Amino acid sequence: MSDILLFGATGVVGRLTARHLAGHDVILAGRDVEKLRELRDEINPAWEIATGDAHSADDMAALAARAAVVISCVGPYSRVGWEMVNACAIAGTDYVDLCGEVPFIRRVIDTHHGTTSARIV
């Protein structure tokens, strides 16, 4: 198990986040394996890469199980964020994102706060 799984790693925010994590144990995750490889090779060739479909509960469960913390940089969260949040809540994996979409945040709180508390940030 790695310390951190960075989901949506090849987008603008994901790339910036990856650079800040250069000295950590990270799995870069997203849709495009070639873009993930390029990013990994640029920042830390020792990092693992993983792919998954944000709409697939099974894919997100498999990714969430691979790290202690998931940092999600995908968006818009209301369209592609739910399966990862849900997978992390079920797996007990800490989760953080930069979502500013109030209805999505409300849904996460209403659904998972009672069982996850501060694990979903």
Please report, for the chain, the start and end positions of each structural domain, with discontinuous segments joined by +. Answer: 2-119
Residue 42, CA distances (Å) to 4, 22, 23, 36, 89 in order:
18, 10, 13, 10, 32
Predicted local confidence at residue 120, as pLDDT: 67
- What are the pLDDT tens digits along the chain (121 aa)? 789 999 999 999 999 999 999 999 999 999 999 999 999 999 999 999 999 999 999 999 999 999 999 999 999 999 999 999 999 999 999 999 999 999 989 998 888 887 766 576 6
Predicted local confidence at residue 117, as pLDDT: 60
User: Tokens standing for 34?
Assistant: 């070639």
User: Tokens standing for 56?
Assistant: 């697939």
Q: Please state the pTM of the whole predicted model.
A: 0.92
Instruction: Tell me if the domain spanning 2-119 has CATH number 3.40.50.920.
Output: no
